[in-house]
Structure 1
Amino acid sequence: MRIGTADSAVLLDLLDRRLVCALQVDGRAEPGRLAEVLGVSVRTVTRRLARLRETGVLKVVLMDRVADEAVGALLLRVRVLRGRVETIADALAARPDIPFVDIMLGGEEVSAVALTDRGGRDRLLHRQLPGTAAVVETTVHSVLHLFADAGQWRGGWLTEQEAAALAPAPPSTPPPLPDELDQRLLARLADDARLSAAALAAETGAPESTVRRRLHRLAAGGLLRTHATVDPRLLGMPVDANLWLEVPPGRLAEAGRVLAADPRVHGVVACSGPANLMAAVFCVDYEELYRFTTELLGPLGVHRVETAIVGRAVKRAGARLVEPGAARTGGRPPREGRSGTA
């Protein structure tokens, strides 16, 4: 397996891609289960997983209960002075209430998603961003409805049967109210969702049997939903675009459902503003993005499309991504904190 920079056209091989896609289905799947479904040895799975994670190419994190928090979330488009985009993107990515940050192609705009309370929203929009000299303009859209989120996207390298075999059981109980131990477990899994019960027991000081019961209860309540974070360019999809769409109100729900069902879409929401629908799309090349626009969007009666190309993904689902070149050396992104320009 060769791993290089995303710009070097060095891609993960077929087994690596299938392994990443398996973890998209269930990020906590045991190596034995992964090996059985993928048709390889447990040793191979263990070795590949270790290499992917140690290089920082793959990170499996807990996915927030986005469906509960999405409505009212903010979609930010921040225009920045040339040469300051990295500073603003890093400052936004350092905030725990901002799980998604992208630098758009051209280097003058940062796109972000903010899940924050009213106080945090007002501080960010009315004081922090306007008070930053590098910020030229901020456009804010509120999410009105969630059709699909990043946790539902699949890279497409598994068969339907393989994906079904790996799919975890749906939540069977209402979400539990986490106590102190649950919160400690969730906090550790938020950064590394593949930690075993034994590792969690060692870190928390709780008996392993207790940790296993707690994990089972949290999973049954839908609190262990995972997200396998990987640069889509390493899966053969180098074009990452945000499409801002104007759709007739009478066709908005239909358009959202159609887009959510398309395997190239990794997020779609109805939102406020002139563009009432936003879809995030991964494509193999620009020609495929063109076909997506003409063949899928055309029949939906879309009045207008603004296509914004992502130059670099900085943070996805709460996880900082390895910067170009860092994977080759085993480098890791900086730890997140609350400080920063924004």
Structure 2
Amino acid sequence: MESDIRSRADAKARAFDPLDRQLIQALQLDGRAPFSRLAQVLGVSDQTVARRYARLRESSGLRVLGLTTPEAFGEVRWMIRVQCAPAAAGGLAEALARRDDTAWVNVCSGGAEITCTARAHPDRQDDLLLQRLPRTPSVVGIAAHCVLHTFFGGEQSLALKSGALDAEQVTQVRAFSGAPESGTGTRPGGAARPADPIDLDEGDRQLFAALAVDGRAGFAELAAATGWSASTVRRRMEELEHARALYFDLDLDWRLFGVHAMTQLWLDVAPAELAATGEALAAHPEIGYAAAVTGPSNLNAVVLSPDVPALYTYLTTRIATLPAVRRVESSPVMRTVKGPGPFVTPVRSPRPRRRAGS
């Protein structure tokens, strides 16, 4: 069955051409860019862009998501590792995925571990970390690592490292969106911390809820969801983006990019070299996420590779050349239950299926 899934993914990847890659990278740079602007950058017609976008949504689950930055609301991000009985991993992972304060819920290491990111206000963070999970009968251990600094992740993804767009096209997309430029389309050093936490009203919450489902929703649709006028929605979104409280990310089947193996890495790095090592790691084309965290391992990363042999090559070449890395723990991801956006209820099939990669 695993070979059948891999074959179907390979067939999709073969139908995935350079224009598709360019469109995805452009959307990662500016998720709400009008099709007319994308068409201008890509050198095709508006209709071609619209048709390709619709096809990617249908065949590969492409979604543009409008998401919130926890730091903008005075919240702290955590990486949680839950050791559990393998037989209970699926149900526990889905329970975590259904929570509004979690993202990237993965079943790892043969089903004996679940990892996820969580967000909590400092005054209320014990709700998930210290009370509910330890009382779950199937949980045999839990470790919570506070995320101190993100080197790569959030609005940055593997699409930005694809090289589908040339430097001039990246600059054009950035110019349209008003975002700062850099050579790869990334913002070095992760997201900037807002000066003061942002207070939300009910309209803001409705706006975020709608954008989390469809980051490209039109202003008229968002106005209906919030009860505001379309001009108020536009103005408020500009304010939230400027404050770095709102950003846009993509959710799709990354097997289109040849990714069939996702692996969590936990690295022990000399403290004096943590920043330099994190920046170097973030620049690796195989890295989809990298952050400094608390705990015995002070650098957490996600490696995206074509297969297990490619992971071995990565560990013994790129990682091996980082002089400050003293120890590496790897934890293969067996299944991703929830990605960056809201939990999507899985479609149950008559026979169990394990999804490869991410």
Same fold (TM over 0.5): yes
Partner of 2:173: 166
Inter-CA distance 183–159: structure 2 relative to 1 (3 Å threshold): same
Partner of 2:94: 90
Distance 1:7 1:67 in 2: 41
Give, as a single letter, the amino acid of the residue that structure 2 aligns with 1:288.
Answer: A
- How far residue 50 of structure 1 moved from its aligned partner, in angstroms, is 2.3
Inter-CA distance 93–242: structure 2 relative to 1 (3 Å threshold): same
* 1:304-326: CA deviation from partner (whole Å, max 9, x where unpaired): 11111111222222333685999
Partner of 2:332: 309
Distance 2:348 2:166 in 1: 32
- How far residue 70 of structure 1 moved from its aligned partner, in angstroms, is 9.8
Partner of 2:298: 276
Distance 1:224 1:182 in 2: 11
- Out of 264, 274, 298, the residue aligned to residue 286 of structure 2 is 264
- How far residue 269 of structure 1 moved from its aligned partner, in angstroms, is 1.4
Q: Which structure 1 residue ranges, 5 or more long, are not aligned?
A: 327-342
The answer to whether the Cα contact below 8 Å between 1:153 and 1:263 also exists between their aligned partners in 2 is no
Runs of 4+ in 1 over 6 A off after TM superposition: 173-176
Inter-CA distance 222–207: structure 2 relative to 1 (3 Å threshold): same
Distance 2:272 2:141 in 1: 32
Distance 2:224 2:102 in 1: 30
Partner of 2:188: none
Distance 2:124 2:93 in 1: 18
- How far residue 177 of structure 1 moved from its aligned partner, in angstroms, is 5.4
Q: Percent identity?
A: 37
Alignment map for 1:29-40 (pairs within 5 Å): 29-40=33-44
Q: How many residues align?
A: 322
Partner of 1:253: 275
Deviates more, 1:313-322 or 1:37-46: 313-322
Please say if 1:46 is aligned against 2:68: no
Distance 2:226 2:261 in 1: 42
Please say if 1:126 is aligned against 2:126: no
Give, as a single letter, the amino acid of the residue that structure 1 aligns with 2:149.
Answer: H
The answer to whether the Cα contact below 8 Å between 2:70 and 2:77 also exists between their aligned partners in 1 is no
Partner of 1:11: 12
Inter-CA distance 174–69: structure 2 relative to 1 (3 Å threshold): closer
- Out of 231, 244, 262, the residue aligned to residue 266 of structure 2 is 244
Give, as a single letter, the amino acid of the residue that structure 1 aligns with 2:11.
Answer: V
- Out of 151, 154, 157, the residue aligned to residue 153 of structure 1 is 157
The answer to whether the Cα contact below 8 Å between 1:62 and 1:226 also exists between their aligned partners in 2 is yes
- How far residue 278 of structure 1 moved from its aligned partner, in angstroms, is 0.9
The answer to whether the Cα contact below 8 Å between 1:70 and 1:115 also exists between their aligned partners in 2 is no
TM score, norm. by length of structure 1 = 0.83
- Out of 59, 74, 81, the residue aligned to residue 78 of structure 2 is 74
The answer to whether the Cα contact below 8 Å between 2:76 and 2:122 also exists between their aligned partners in 1 is no
3-state DSSP of counterpart to 2:11: coil
Q: Which structure 2 residue ranges, 5 or more long, are not aligned?
A: 181-193, 350-358
The answer to whether the Cα contact below 8 Å between 1:251 and 1:300 also exists between their aligned partners in 2 is no
Distance 1:59 1:102 in 2: 19
3-state DSSP of counterpart to 1:253: helix
Please say if 1:61 is aligned against 2:70: no
* 1:44-95: CA deviation from partner (whole Å, max 9, x where unpaired): 2212222333457112112322555798422111122122111011111111
* 1:116-157: CA deviation from partner (whole Å, max 9, x where unpaired): 134543232333112211212212222233222232123213
Inter-CA distance 21–170: structure 2 relative to 1 (3 Å threshold): closer
Aligned CA RMSD, in angstroms, stands at 2.9
- How far residue 228 of structure 1 moved from its aligned partner, in angstroms, is 0.6
Partner of 1:336: none
Deviates more, 1:259-268 or 1:4-13: 4-13
TM score, norm. by length of structure 2 = 0.79
